[in-house]
């Protein structure tokens, strides 16, 4: 039996991508309340489980099924691009900090 295609993809603070299946949808005025499950429930880390339980188990989407949140996507490619850009930004930040530390170390060793 083929695995169902995820309905949503979320990107965590650690730039992990979690594929989600929507298990229920309830229209509540101008938004939709959705309940989700992780698609690959057997293949999840403790941090993924924590992020999912805290932020993504129940979500509120616009009536068209999209979200204004920067971390929720209907396309894997868009989630992957966001995660990659986030990692690049984080690497640049760490490289700047490392450069500053190396400069300070050089001054102290001079």
Per-residue pLDDT of the chain (110 residues; tens, 9 = 90+): 567 889 999 999 889 999 999 999 999 889 999 999 998 766 677 888 888 889 899 999 998 888 888 899 999 999 999 999 999 999 999 999 999 999 999 999 98
Q: Is the torsion defined by CA of 85, 72, 70, 94 positive or negative?
A: negative
* Whole-prediction pTM: 0.80
Q: Is the torsion defined by CA of 13, 30, 19, 48 positive or negative?
A: positive
pLDDT of residue 69: 87
Q: Find tokens 């450069």 and name the residue.
A: 99
pLDDT of residue 46: 84
């Amino acid at each position: 039996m083929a695995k169902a295609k995820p309905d949503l993809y979320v990107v965590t603070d650690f730039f992990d991508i979690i594929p989600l299946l929507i298990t229920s949808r309830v229209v509540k005025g101008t938004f939709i309340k959705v309940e989700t499950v992780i698609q690959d429930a057997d293949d999840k880390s403790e941090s993924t489980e924590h992020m999912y339980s805290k932020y993504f188990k129940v979500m509120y989407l616009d009536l068209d099924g999209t979200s204004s949140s920067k971390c929720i996507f209907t396309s894997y490619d868009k989630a992957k691009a966001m995660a990659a850009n986030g990692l690049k930004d984080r690497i640049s930040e760490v490289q700047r900090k490392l450069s500053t530390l190396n400069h300070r170390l050089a001054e102290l060793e001079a």
